[in-house]
């Protein structure tokens, strides 16, 4: 067994409680989760997830691009003249179908 060392860190109390609850549901404690993170960082020689900062202009640009893509897709599918009510009706119908499928799966 490898020799162990202690690590003492400060963390927001509420964040710690949330993390404890999350990792407990995953079958591990916070110490194990931190070890998993550190091992993966060492293995990848990097933070094992993307860290980035988006300013308001970047978020706005992404939103505009997403809207343009949706408009183009809508035009391809012949739906570009749909009203907001029609779109909301389709969303509601899709959600009902999903709930029905989930109910069937749970039975």
Domain edges within the chain: 13-44, 56-106
Q: What is the pLDDT of residue 77?
A: 82
Q: What is the secondary structure of 52-93 as a DSSP string? A: ----HHHHHHHHHHHHHHHHHHHHHTT-TT--HHHHHHHHHH
Q: What is the pLDDT of residue 37?
A: 94
Q: What's the rounded Cα separation, in Å, for the pair 21 and 59?
A: 31
- Can you tell me the mean pLDDT for 82-95? 86
Q: What's the rounded Cα separation, in Å, for the pair 42 and 50?
A: 15
Quote the distance between the C-alpha of residue 57 and its chain's center.
22
Give 103 or 79, the one with higher predicted confidence. Answer: 103
Structure token pair of residue 55: 């300013």
Residue 81 pLDDT grade (very low, low, confident, very high; cuts 50, 70, 90): confident
Entry pTM: 0.49
pLDDT tens-digit profile of 21-44? 999 999 999 999 999 999 999 999
Contact 19, 33 (CB under 8 A): yes
Residue with tokens 């609850």: 21
Structure token pair of residue 56: 């308001």
């Amino acid at each position: 067994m490898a020799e162990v060392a202690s690590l003492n860190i400060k963390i927001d109390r509420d964040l710690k409680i949330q993390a404890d609850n999350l990792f407990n549901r995953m079958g591990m404690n916070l110490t194990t989760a931190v070890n998993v993170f550190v091992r993966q960082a060492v293995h990848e020689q990097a933070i094992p997830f993307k860290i980035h900062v988006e300013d308001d202009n970047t978020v706005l640009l992404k939103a505009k691009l997403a809207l343009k893509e949706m408009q183009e897709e809508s035009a391809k599918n012949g739906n570009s003249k749909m009203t907001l009510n029609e779109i909301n009706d389709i969303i509601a119908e899709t959600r009902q179908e999903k709930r029905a499928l989930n109910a069937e799966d749970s039975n």
